[in-house]
Amino acid sequence: MVYEIYLRSFADGNGDGVGDIAGVRARLPYLRDLGVDAIWLTPWYRSPMADGGYDVADYRDIDPLFGSLGDAEALIIEAHEHGLRVMIDIVPNHCSSQHPLFAAALAAGPGSAERARFWFRAGQGVAGELPPNDWQSMFGGPAWTRVIEPDGSPGEWYLHLFAAEQPDLNWDNPQVRAEFEDILRFWLDRGVDGFRIDVADFLVKDPDLPDAGALPPGVRRPWEDQDGLHEIYRSWRRLIDSYPGNRALLGEMWISPLTRLRPYLLGDQLHTAFNFGFLSAPWEPAALRGAIDTTLESIGAAAPWVLSNHDVYRHVTRYGRADTARIWWATEQVATDLALGTRRARAALLLSLALPGSSYLYQGEELGLWEVEDIPDNLIADPIYERTGHRVRGRDGCRVPLPWQAAAPGFGFGPPDAATPWLPQPAEWRRLAADTQAADPDSMLALYRAALRARATRRGLADDTLTWLESSDGVLAFSRASGFSCVVNLGAEPVPLPPHDELVLASGPLEGSLLPGDTAVWLLATAR
């Protein structure tokens, strides 16, 4: 059970309105009591924050907004003392345009060894005024930006698959490889237990940089899942395996079909990779079952299940809409039934925690937080907003600072005299504050705690196989070893509960022996 901490929005220790390492340290007991095994921290490195820290200017230091290197070292030690392992984000596809290597590349000019660490190319057109190819940034607009050369003339273009402030590194360059292995060692030496590898599938590019616009959907893009990636992760695996303890490499790869993940997971590269098929599946039995089967076939027992993260609409909101599979990029506001979404989110928790593998919880989902869709325009920080000409508001709605205390200013995100949280919290979150929910046995937080406790006592659930049980339309039912089964009613009508000896947990009230719509249960049949 891994808990994702989006550092800027978790807890503010120093009162500047932005989450930080001190805030995390103060909340370690909360995480321990929640029942997670590990935390994953989004980037804490020195960064101009053009993309919330995914634009790294120094991989060996902490941004002053978050604290100091000493704070990070203390956090790792204290987390371990609480029995929590620590994963950190590593961002190898790109760095910040303010990274010294990029500054050196700009200064050194065309044809230099410094530029060879990135993807600099001459432009097309009569005077190089057009980008080198048709690649588009994941955040909107072209994936190339033209530079002004040291002599003041318009010059080469550089590749950035994300924002212009995030130049792509050239992983064909041995110095780039050596630099990152050294960075991994730097953090392994400080005790981190693993890395979540940001856009792990994008590092290697087809060196011909062919146009991609005309490729049919589903065909591998020239920047994703290239053969050369395997050698990089083999060498990372050798490196991480040379350290004591079971340390892990987790790839963030939005690869489809999921079977393409298999070659990375053969034991000599990544330990596991996110499976986003489950997160993107609609709230429908056949689609969810399909996503579960494909994941287990492709990733097996190392499957990480995710319902939300800092890049997608929170699932309380997703599941409360007509299109439950819409995870991002909406350009207009859609009607949301938050009560329905919350009921489904409760059921989805029991569903996902009953599956083989591991689970990644995104901060605030244990409080049932929803996507905030009315952030004032002038406060939107996600680069997607600017890069889409303000058409897409981006991901800030799932990054709003957490409500800890109902009665405190800023809902206790920071100390009593703290600056206002960097994004405004909805007033209705008062009733979702962690302290209020901790006292309510029917709250989302209570359900998370109970479910994590129940799962922790059944470690076999992580590894044992899953067997689908016959069930009526609209119902997902499967058993695991030791008589444990999970039944989810995704329909609107109540259905009879299958025979059982013990009800371990229900996501909502039952109607006698009937399981109401959008409700899940964990059942136990004692061996006879």
| C-alpha span between 6 and 20 (Å, rounded) | 10
Q: Are the C-beta atoms of residues 400 and 381 closer than 8 Å to each other? A: no
Which residue lies nearer to ligand NOJ by CB, 47 or 133? 47
Is the bond leading into 376 cis (omega within 30 degrees of zero)?
A: no
Quote the least distance from Cβ 141 to ligand NOJ, whole Å.
15
Q: Could you tell me the two tokens for 178?
A: 């050596």
Which residue lies nearer to ligand NOJ by CB, 310 or 315? 310
Which residue lies nearer to ligand NOJ by CB, 91 or 486? 91
| C-alpha span between 304 and 301 (Å, rounded) | 9
The single residue among 4, 12, 20, 51 that binds ligand NOJ, judged by CB under 6 A, is: 51
Quote the least distance from Cβ 144 to ligand NOJ, whole Å.
17
Q: How many CB atoms lie within 10 A of CB 473?
A: 10
225 contributes a contact to ligand NOJ by CB under 6 A: no
Quote the least distance from Cβ 478 to ligand NOJ, whole Å.
30
Q: Are the C-beta atoms of residues 36 and 29 closer than 8 Å to each other? A: no
The DSSP secondary-structure symbol of 399 reads -
Q: Are the C-beta atoms of residues 396 and 380 closer than 8 Å to each other? A: yes
Of residues 370-389, those binding ligand NOJ (CB under 6 A): none
Of residues 408-467, those binding ligand NOJ (CB under 6 A): none
Quote the least distance from Cβ 89 to ligand NOJ, whole Å.
8
Site mask for ligand NOJ (CB under 6 A), range 249-288, x = bound: ---x------------------------------------
Quote the least distance from Cβ 168 to ligand NOJ, whole Å.
11
The single residue among 40, 54, 171, 370 that binds ligand NOJ, judged by CB under 6 A, is: 54
User: What pairing do the DSSP bridges indicate for beta strands 85-90 and 154-159?
Assistant: unpaired
- Ranges of H-type helices in 202-284: 229-241, 276-280
Quote the least distance from Cβ 385 to ligand NOJ, whole Å.
13
Calculate the CA dihedral of residues 99, 101, 105, 108 and round it to 10 degrees.
Answer: 120
Of residues 331-370, those binding ligand NOJ (CB under 6 A): none
Site mask for ligand NOJ (CB under 6 A), range 161-180, x = bound: -x------------------
198 contributes a contact to ligand NOJ by CB under 6 A: yes
Which residue lies nearer to ligand NOJ by CB, 312 or 495? 312
User: What pairing do the DSSP bridges indicate for beta strands 2-5 and 45-46?
Assistant: unpaired
Quote the least distance from Cβ 310 to ligand NOJ, whole Å.
6
Which residue lies nearer to ligand NOJ by CB, 169 or 288? 169
Which value, in Å, is the radius of gyration of the alpha carbons in the chain?
23
Which residue lies nearer to ligand NOJ by CB, 167 or 421? 167
Which residue lies nearer to ligand NOJ by CB, 40 or 404? 40
Which residue lies nearer to ligand NOJ by CB, 310 or 393? 310
Which residue lies nearer to ligand NOJ by CB, 54 or 411? 54
Quote the least distance from Cβ 218 to ligand NOJ, whole Å.
21
| C-alpha span between 308 and 311 (Å, rounded) | 8
Quote the least distance from Cβ 384 to ligand NOJ, whole Å.
8
Residues 6+ apart with CB under 8 A from 414: 11, 12, 13, 14, 15, 16, 17, 23, 421
Which residue lies nearer to ligand NOJ by CB, 162 or 305? 162
The single residue among 20, 156, 311, 371 that binds ligand NOJ, judged by CB under 6 A, is: 311
User: What pairing do the DSSP bridges indicate for beta strands 484-489 and 475-479?
Assistant: antiparallel
| C-alpha span between 34 and 363 (Å, rounded) | 11
Which residue lies nearer to ligand NOJ by CB, 5 or 91? 91
Residues 6+ apart with CB under 8 A from 396: 372, 375, 379, 380, 381, 382, 423
Q: Could you tell me the two tokens for 196?
A: 């979540």
Of residues 82-101, those binding ligand NOJ (CB under 6 A): 91
Quote the least distance from Cβ 54 to ligand NOJ, whole Å.
3
Quote the least distance from Cβ 201 to ligand NOJ, whole Å.
11
Residue type at position 136: Q
Segment (H or E) for 41: strand 38-41
Site mask for ligand NOJ (CB under 6 A), range 124-163, x = bound: --------------------------------------x-
Quote the least distance from Cβ 253 to ligand NOJ, whole Å.
10
Measured from each CB, the residue nearest to ligand NOJ is 54
The DSSP secondary-structure symbol of 403 reads P
Quote the least distance from Cβ 309 to ligand NOJ, whole Å.
7
Quote the least distance from Cβ 252 to ligand NOJ, whole Å.
6
- Give Cα separations from 219 to 193, 215, 263, 446 (angstroms): 35, 6, 17, 44
Segment (H or E) for 226: none
The number of residues that bind ligand NOJ (CB under 6 A) is: 9
The single residue among 87, 199, 307, 400 that binds ligand NOJ, judged by CB under 6 A, is: 199
41 contributes a contact to ligand NOJ by CB under 6 A: no
Q: How many CB atoms lie within 10 A of CB 439?
A: 9
- Give Cα separations from 16 to 23, 307, 343, 381, 422 (angstroms): 11, 30, 35, 17, 9
Which positions lie near ligand NOJ, rule CB under 6 A? 51, 54, 91, 162, 198-199, 252, 310-311
